[in-house]
Amino acid sequence: MFESLTEKLNGVFQKITGRGRLTERDVDEALRQVRMVLLEADVNLRVARDFVAAVRERAVGKDVLESLTPGQQVIKIVHDELLNLLGAGEGRLTAAATPPSVVMLVGLQGSGKTTTAAKLALLLRRSGQRALLIAADVYRPAAIDQLVVLGRQLDLPVHSEATTVPPATIVANGLRRARELGLAWVIVDTAGRLHIDDEMMAELKALKAAVNPSDVLLVVDAMTGQDAVRAAEAFHEAVGLTGLVLAKMDGDARGGAALSVRAVTGVPVKFLGTGEKPDALETFYPDRLASRILGMGDVLTLIEKAQQQVDVKQAQELERKLRTDSLDLNDVLNQFRQLRQMGPLQQLLEMIPGFSALKQKQSAALPQERDMKRMEAIILSMTPAERATPDILDSGRRRRIAKGSGVSVQEVNQLLNQFREMRKMMRGLAQGRAPFAMPGLGRR
């Protein structure tokens, strides 16, 4: 997500932050490159032009050009203008005065509406609010089956009826059921089409009038770039959108749709789909996204992901083991699994401030998803006794583990050496001294 855009912007900014002084010509050249980067990222032409003009108006002032850190001042202005472009405030759903509140999802076929409906219900449940999913897409029978299966897998209530029943009737019956169950939210999955047509829009208008939803969210495929922006314009004009969900953001390294869609339509982005897993739906925070685009990381989202996955009892047990120096490879395996549940490793690393700059310099040395899978395979090829007591791993056992996990003996040795170094570091922390410190340092 935004990988290409972030790398290219960082390349432009590195040229100006290394200078002690900037001239108006330097700023113009940097902004010319920024404009090209935005256009290559599939940002709308008008949006890119207006954005660069707004940055230039503030960046060529005396306060910036004559400051001690003019390059950093320009980057701050770019960050501020990105916030203006993306909008203020986090993505929130609108709660109705009398529950249940109805969220109506609309969009073209294949945009990810059905999976987004389940992800949104799961997101609401994590915040302590239960939702009923209503399968109102009667034109694609697989859509009903898909939602029912997702509901069963995720333990979410789903209301569905035969494809011969009119969508308005299905939703009315679903609303009645939601009231009986005392649920706070109802999420309606509506029918999509392969393209925008008058018949489709007429049906959505009629359904909206019958349901009176508190939110009408358009789900768009972020990978379609400017087509996503055009679809948002058409739907907003026809049914009056209250928000957008940019699905499949993990598949678009450019990110042009995210930067263009609000500026063109005036409709706020409320959620980002960041992967295929059921929990891969993020609340849209403009400030966090702006920081991520500029390679400044997104620590708050990283912390939230960690809090969702961390088991309190496991964390307390891990803390006890660290204090008593009894950490074993079972604990390492559990940490790998928790980390993988938080999402793709590359996405997590990109939330760490400064990672994008480090990636450009040392891309070959950075950890990869395949490295974690390989280490997990090595540990899983050990017996329970070997995981609990790694010191018993002699050369014969290591050869067997290497063969069982499809790696070399050298890789097994490397994992065990890293584990020993980690235990040594933890032992130093538990004893109140700096690990790997020079003699005489870290002690009193």
**Which string of DSSP letters, residue by residue, matches 348-400?**
HHHTSTTHHHHHHHHGGGS--HHHHHHHHHHHHTS-HHHHH-GGG--HHHHHH
**pLDDT at residue 442 in the model:** 36
Q: Residues for the chain: how many in total?
A: 444
- Supply the pLDDT for residue 199: 87
- Give the β-pairing of 131-135 and 158-159: parallel
Q: Rounded to an integer, what distance in angstroms lies between the CA atom of residue 410 and that of residue 378? A: 12
- Strand segments, DSSP code E, in 150-228 are 158-159, 185-189, 215-221
SS3 category, 131: strand
Strand, coil or helix: 320: helix
User: What are 318's two structure tokens?
Assistant: 């891990």
pLDDT computed for residue 171 by the predictor: 94
- Residue 101, helix vs strand vs coil: strand
Give the torsion sign (CA, 267, 273, 278, 279): negative
SS3 21: coil
Mark the ranges of the chain whose per-residue pLDDT is less than 70. 1, 68, 88-90, 251-255, 295-325, 338-369, 425-444
Closest-CA residue to 261 (of 292, 296, 286, 297): 286
**What 3-state class would DSSP assign to 404?**
helix
- E-only strand ranges, 87-193: 101-106, 131-135, 158-159, 185-189
Packed helices 409-430 and 395-405: angle between N→C axes, nearest 10 degrees: 110
Find where tokens 């018949």 sit: 199
Neighbouring residues of 166: CB distance < 8 A, sequence distance ≥ 6 = 138
- The predicted-structure confidence for 307-322, as pLDDT tens digits, reads as follows 555 566 666 666 666 6
- Which sign does the torsion angle of CA 62, 63, 64, 65 carry? positive
What's the rounded Cα separation, in Å, for the pair 373 and 350? 19
Cα 301-306-359 angle, rounded to 5 deg: 65
Q: What's residue 170's pLDDT?
A: 95
**Rounded alpha-carbon distances, angstroms, from residue 392 to 73, 304, 322, 375, 423:** 57, 39, 21, 18, 16
User: pLDDT tens for residues 394-411?
Assistant: 999 999 999 999 999 999
Q: What is the pLDDT of residue 132?
A: 96
Domains of the chain (ranges plus CATH)?
3-86 (1.20.120.140), 101-296 (3.40.50.300), 325-430 (1.10.260.30)
Q: Cα 220 to chain center, whole Å? A: 15
* Whole-number pLDDT of residue 333: 79
Q: Which of 170, 167, 182, 157 is nearest to 100 (CA)?
A: 182
> What's residue 52's pLDDT?
93
Q: What is residue 368's predicted lDDT score, i.e. its pLDDT?
A: 61
Closest CA to 297 of 364, 369, 348: 348
Torsions phi, psi for 330 (to 5 deg):
-65, -40
As a whole number of angstroms, the distance between CA 348 and CA 308 comes to: 14
Torsion angle of C-alpha atoms 89, 95, 96, 97, degrees rounded to 10 = -90
pTM over 0.85: no
